Structures are given as structure tokens and as C-alpha cells.
Structure 1
Amino acid sequence: MPTPPDRRSRKRLATREAISDAATRLFAERGFDQVTVEEIATAADVGRKTVFNHFPRKEDMFFDRIEEFGEILQGALQQRDSRFSSVEALRQLAHRLVAEDSYYVNFSAVSHSWIETMVGSETLQARARAIRDETAQMIAEALAEAAGQTTTDPSAVLAAGLLMATWTVAFVQARRTFQQQGDAVQAQAVFLAIIDQGTVGIDAAMQGTPYV
């Protein structure tokens, strides 16, 4: 996350990161449901109210980088090269993230532990499903905007759903590959192969629309 230019914002960001780091450590050690907000506040050396000022819900501390990833997706669509379709722009984004070894496509023991923590909590699984739906809606709106269509365009909604399905399967299969083989490079290759294959299918499904 970029460092804010002013001192007050930097201090706020540092506090948020301290809370997030403390929460992540405790969740990994004991599981999400077994950790209280009070314990996180103590570990981060802040008050309970400060925790909620930064994270309205406990699960927001677990999914603390989802908003940032959404901004990356939106940016890829809004700043895409006009020579490429919106769907192709997201395929290129996937390849760029892997080339940069981005946090979001870093398949490792740490990310595997994060997934295991989520799987172990019904609360986190429910929030993950809600985030998936929210992200699909955001992508649909960004696709429609980039194509000059209304935000309720059915084709944009369909394209967003297909994109979310493709990225979800790619993440799941890549993490499974890492779990079985312990090879991060191979996991990334699986991720990109599914993204590429899914994009071909989306292109075929969306022919005649402004999204391909």
C-alpha cells in the first residue's frame, strides 16, 4: 500500500497495519473464532475502539487487503489500452501480477495457512462469499462503465460472473497445486493456464457485446 504523504495519514496507516499484523498472527496461531477483538487490541497496543475505527468487523481484519485488490481490478479496466477488450485487460493483469510476484498470486506456506484459517471458520467463509458477490458487482459496473453501457447491462453482469468464476477456479487450483507439490512456480503456471483457458471461453460467450 502506498505511503501517505502527510504525517497524520502515515500514523493512521501505521496503526492500521499494526492491528492487521497482530490479528493475522493471532488468527494463524489459534484460529479466527478463538481470537477476541480485545486480544487483538492488546497485541497491537491500542484500544478496542481504535480497532473498530479501522476495522468495523472482526472479519475485515482477516480480509484487510480485499479492497486494495478490488482497486487493482478496477484500475486495470479503467486504464486499459483501447486496443484491448476489457476481458483481455483482466487476462493481462493476471499475467502482470504473476510476473511481479504480487502478494495476490503468491502461492506459499503463508498463503496456504491463510486459506486453512478461512476454511476453519464458518464466519469467514460466509464473508468470503459476500465479498465474491460484491466483487462481481463491482466488476460488472466497471465493465459497463468502460464500455459506455448502463451499470445494469445484463451482458456486463454475465461477463463479470464468468470472470469471477474463472479467477476463483484459477486460485483454488493453483493453491491445490502448491499444497500437493510445494512448488510456487508451478502453482502460478496453473493459475495462468486456467485464466487463459477461461478467457477463451468468455470471449466465445460474449461475442457481439462490447466486452470482447
Structure 2
Amino acid sequence: MPRTDARGGPQTRARISQIATRLFLDQGFDAVTVAAVAREAGVSTVTVFKHFPRKEDLLLDRADDAMQMLRSAVRDRPAGTDVLDSLEAMVLRLAEDQHGLSGTAAESAPFFRTVAGSNPLIARARELAADLQHVLADELDRDPGFDGDSALLAAFFMSGYTTVLTDNARRLIAGEDPAETALHHRQRLAQLFRALRNAMR
């Protein structure tokens, strides 16, 4: 297979991520090297690291999407809309669409199993959650329509949503019917936002 130029764009990035994910889920994260991913994708290791600075990011590749969603929930909400209402609408849309960031789809089980079996992936997932928390806090700080404690709300939201996702992961790994997991997910989201509204009064 011919090698792709190191300047390859979004299609190259998507192909590398898809191939890496398949290899990781089939063989285990620790058993697959970046060189093996590059070889399978028909690119150089330089190209892989251009798109994914860390090996863990080959699998945990939704951070940029999550950051954009958080920014949009704050910046693009209709005038007069409460930030918590906008964040709740965002996560409910993710659940309705069975988006990967909702962690409710049946196909999420192998992904969660792979992450749970790798200490480097667990550590990187925590780092990404911290990054998202900072992004949300920064957006709230800049938002003229928000007059609460930005750092506190961001910390509460990210901690709560991470807890819900972790529970989804445990359920799917244990073999629970995805429909039951999705129902429980919605129930936990309702509890989360009730708690957030009470906490931020």
C-alpha cells in the first residue's frame, strides 16, 4: 500500500483512528505499537504522531469533539437560556443519537473493556476529563450571561457526567441490555442536573 504524505488531512486522521481502534479492540491496547498502526494504515509513524501526539489519543479521539460541544453549549445557546439547561439539552441529544460520548451504544462495550484493561488509557481519560473541565470553566468565565462560580460548576458537571459514563461502562461490560443501560443513563442524567441546579442556587 502506498504511504500517505505526512500532511494528510482529516480523512487520513479518520482512517488512522479507525484502524488503530480495530487493532486495539482485537489485540489489546498494550499489545499494539504505533509502528503497527502506521504499517496497517499505510503511513509513516511521523504521520501518526502528527495527528495523534500520544498513542492513547488514537483510541480516545473524541476530546476535540467534546470540547467543541461544550463551547457551543455555552456560546451558542439562545438568549436567556440558562447554561445548565443548555448543557442538559446537549447531553440529552447525545443520548438520543446514541453518540459515542453518551456511552450507551451496544458497540461501546469492547471500547470500555479495552480502556478498563489499560492503565495508560485510564490515566489519559482522566487527563482529558480535566482538560474538558478547564475548557468549560474558561467558557463560563467569558460568558456575560453567566454570573455563577465557573470553576465550581465545571467541576461538578464533569465529575457528574464522568460518573454516569463510568456506570454505563460497568453495565455494558457486565453484559447488560444496552436498552436498559440507555434508560438508566437518562435517569442518572436527570438526577445529575437536579443536583447541579440545587448546588448552584
- TM-score when normalising by structure 2: 0.88
Question: What one-letter code is carried by the residue in structure 2 that aligns with 1:120?
Answer: G
- Counterparts of 2:161 and 2:32, CA distance in 1: 30
- In structure 1, the partner of 2:162 is 168
Offset at 1:148? 5.5
Instruction: Say if 1:126 and 1:21 are closer, same or farther in 2 by CA, change over 3 A.
Output: same
Q: Which runs of 5+ in 2 are unaligned?
A: none
Give the aligned CA root-mean-square deviation in angstroms. 2.1
**Letter paired with 1:70:** M
1:34 to 22, 31, 35: 31
1:72/1:14 CA distance change after superposition, 3 Å: same
Aligned partners of 2:148 and 2:78: how far apart in 1? 24
* Pair 1:201-2:198 in alignment: no
The Cα offsets for residues 18-68 of structure 1, whole Å up to 9 and x where unpaired, read as 111111111111111111111001100111111111111111111112211
Task: Find the residue that maps to 2:149 and give its secondary structure.
Answer: helix
TM-score w.r.t. length of structure 1: 0.83
* 8 Å contact kept, 1:28–1:114: yes
Cα distance change of structure 1 residues 26 and 171 upon mapping to structure 2, 3 Å threshold: same
Q: Following superposition of structure 1 onto structure 2, how do residues 93-172 of structure 1 map, counting pairs within 5 Å?
A: 93-147=90-144, 155-172=149-166
Identity among equivalent positions (%) equals: 30
CA distance in 2, matches of 1:72, 1:27: 26
Aligned residues: 195
CA distance in 2 between partners of 1:177 and 1:119 (Å): 13
Q: Is the CA contact 2:15–2:41 (under 8 Å) kept in the aligned structure 1?
A: yes
Give the aligned partner of residue 4 of structure 1: none
Distance 1:205 1:106 in 2: 25
Q: Is the 8 A contact 1:77 1:143 kept in 2?
A: yes
Displacement of 1:130 after TM fit?
0.8
Compared CA separation, residues 86 and 181, structure 1 to 2 (3 A): same
Q: 2: distance between equivalents of 1:106 and 1:125?
A: 15
